[in-house]
Amino acid sequence: MKKKVNISAQDRNQLIADDNRKLFESKGVFTINIIGSPGCGKTSILEHMSNHFDEQFAVVVGDVKTALDSDRIINSGNKNAFAIETGGGCHLSAQMIQNKLKEINLDHLDYLFIENVGNLICPSSFDLGENLKIAILSIPEGDEKVRKYPTLFIRAAAVIINKIDLLGVMDYDIERVKQDCRVHNTEVKIFETSAKTGQGLDEWYQLLRDQRKYLFSE
Ligand SMILES: Nc1nc2c(ncn2[C@@H]2O[C@H](COP(=O)(O)OP(=O)(O)OP(=O)(O)O)[C@@H](O)[C@H]2O)c(=O)[nH]1
Ligand SMILES: [Mg+2]
């Protein structure tokens, strides 16, 4: 008789994430898990990419409800955008991504961007099979988020500080925020961007190209 093996939800998520990653890598798709507070500018940056990042990419957007953000991305010119409604869940899981992959043709894609549910806590603990986890902060959120929500910043390889166009009108100590990020990860790459003006996004796009080249030249 087969013995039932109980594994935790986290372990099960990890097994599926590893399968997702193997699939992405076998197709040459570099995958990015984007995590940040509600309203920090995740979708706005992806909209900017539709017109300025000259590579083949698809986007999966997780929200508790609605397909508003994937519709925005489609309207900005990238037809390869897909919504996942979590129905209440505060983060995406590897299983949700695996299910959504049935609708996405990975052949000919260079990148897959996953916009996680707006939240600084839960999404950071669930691997989706990505090659790069990035955190997005924004100036109006205040400059203590890295100190208050460290889990994400321990794991993120890159941090985008968005809405940099608002720096002059907010009390925001950007140098201290960068120091706070480096306490958790001395190697972290930090970008100052504005999805509104496009400032700093070319540097972010270059990092994506460099990282993909590095992964697939091994
Ligand atoms: N001034 C300024 N506003 C921005 C910038 N980026 C985004 N916004 C605005 O911020 C608001 C929220 O932006 P979204 O892109 O929807 O943020 P999000 O992180 O995708 O939000 P959720 O999906 O709800 O978590 C919108 O009104 C954007 O126009 C920026 O760089 N500068
Ligand atoms: Mg969004």
Q: Could you report the per-residue pLDDT of 37-63, keeping only the tens digit for each?
A: 999 999 999 999 999 999 999 999 999
The pLDDT of residue 211 is 97
Other CB atoms within 10 A of residue 163 CB: 23
* Average model confidence (pLDDT) across the chain: 97
Domain-located, residue 21: yes
Asked if residue 3 belongs to a domain, the reply is no
In the prediction, which pLDDT does 115 show?
A: 98
Q: Is residue 88 part of a domain?
A: yes
CB 150 within 8 A of CB 126: no
Count of domains forming the chain: 1
Segment (H or E) for 172: none
Share of the chain above pLDDT 70, in %: 99
What's residue 218's pLDDT? 60
Residue 64 near residue 40 (C-beta atoms within 8 A):
no
Confidence of residue 4 (pLDDT cuts 50, 70, 90): confident
Q: Which residue's alpha carbon is at the smallest distance from atom 29 of ligand 1?
A: 44
Ligand 2 centroid to residue 63 C-alpha, Å: 8
Query: Within a 10 A sphere around the Cβ of 175, how many other Cβ atoms?
Result: 8
Mutational test site, ligand 1, from 35, 42, 44, max ligand atoms within 8 Å of CB: 44
Nearest atom within ligand 1 for CA of residue 136: 19
Domain of 99 in residue numbering reads as 9-216
| Among protein residues, the one whose CA lies closest to atom 2 of ligand 1 | 163
